[in-house]
Amino acid sequence: MSASKDTPRVSVPALRARKGGEPIVCLTAYTTPVARLLDPHVDLLLVGDSLGMVIYGFDSTLPVTLDMMIAHGAAVVRGSRHACVVVDLPFGSYQESPQVAFRNAARVMAESGAQAVKVEGGLEMAETVAYLTTRGVPVMGHVGLLPQSVNALGGYKAVGRDPEAAERIRADARAIAEAGAFSLVIEGTMESLARQITEDVTIPTIGIGASPACDGQVLVSDDMFGLFGEFQPKFVKRYAQLGTAIGEAAATYAAEVKARSFPGPEHCFGIKKA
């Protein structure tokens, strides 16, 4: 059952207080109908810029605009009552300066109704995170594999394999936590590194391709439901094959239309049942 209108959403302070406690359940959502289905079961709905690939068919998240994120964020807020809603700030909307980041984050929160924003980056983004959080914008951080930096990284691949790289990511995580982020996504890292970061920081860590030791987990919903392409990342468990079911339903529909067995009398107006 979904939460009633009088039930408050899961709050940012409530999520932060879950450090070391009951694991935080997170999934992505981009539309009102999907948000309604997921909302009773999760603590946090992430409106990820992954929508660029999942919804719009882009090759990366880089073409996603602020207006797209606001529109989809508002759709998810309308479709949910229980979960905390966090919206990604897209590439180019926050890296220029803390002031630009605040202006765009304020737009996202005011126009979508979301409770927080998410930004990617480590040491270089700590000043921006501090600027936002001291001005009333709750921030979720994101370290490790950074999809918005796919060109600089040379593709989507696990990071932190060597000691030097691992220490840089640990330093990134500490910097973002100390800057005031309320939680931290760790993506695409070695399991031992994600475990270390979770021990290092005082805020909840949310893993995706990271470690079961993280304080919570997130997946792209379309990946776990079998809706997004044939490729299955190592860290994704497919809990359903809805893509196959949709294809089969469409094939049955097409066959019935061609055979003139759909629509039947029960689907038409003005025809009385015998």
Q: Name the percent of the chain lying above pLDDT 70.
A: 92
Interacting residues of 19 by C-beta distance below 8 A, sequence separation 6+: 202, 203, 204, 215
pLDDT above 90 for 67: yes
Q: Is 127 annotated as a binding residue?
A: no
Kindly report the length of the chain. 274
Q: What is the per-residue pLDDT across 206-253, written as a single tens digit (0 to 9) for each? A: 999 999 999 999 999 999 999 976 666 777 888 999 999 999 999 999
pLDDT at 195: 97
Q: Which of 24, 71, 46, 39 is nearest to 223 (CA)?
A: 46
Q: What is the per-residue pLDDT across 87-101, written as a single tens digit (0 to 9) for each? A: 999 999 999 999 999
Of 155 and 92, the one with more pLDDT = 92
Q: Is 191 annotated as a binding residue?
A: no
pLDDT at 1: 38
Distance CA 65, CA 70 (A): 9
**C-alpha distances out from residue 240 to 12, 48, 225, 243, Å:** 30, 21, 5, 9
Least confident of 59-63, 166-170, 231-235: 231-235
Q: Is 49 annotated as a binding residue?
A: yes
Q: Is 50 annotated as a binding residue?
A: yes
Please name the residue ranges forming H helices in 134-185: 150-153, 163-178
pLDDT at 236: 82
Distance CA 158, CA 165 (A): 11
Least confident of 144-158, 189-203, 221-235: 144-158
Q: DSSP per residue over 30-89, as a string?
A: -SHHHHHHHGGG-SEEEE-TTHHHHTT--SSSTT--HHHHHHHHHHHHHT-SSSEEEEEP
Active site residues: 187
Q: Is 118 annotated as a binding residue?
A: yes
126-133 and 163-178 are packed helices; what angle lies between their axes, rounded to 10 degrees? 20
Torsion of CA 28, 32, 34, 35, to 10 degrees: 60
Average pLDDT of span 132-160: 81
The model carries a pTM of 0.92
Q: What is the per-residue pLDDT across 79-131, written as a single tens digit (0 to 9) for each? A: 999 999 999 999 999 999 999 999 999 999 999 999 999 999 999 999 999 99
Interacting residues of 85 by C-beta distance below 8 A, sequence separation 6+: 9, 44, 45, 47, 73, 76, 77, 112, 113, 114, 115, 116
Compute how many other C-beta atoms are within 10 angstroms of the C-beta atom of residue 230: 6
Compute how many other C-beta atoms are within 10 angstroms of the C-beta atom of residue 99: 10
Q: Name the percent of the chain lying above pLDDT 90.
A: 82
DSSP state of 154: T
Least confident of 63-77, 90-104, 135-149: 135-149
Distance CA 137, CA 139 (A): 6
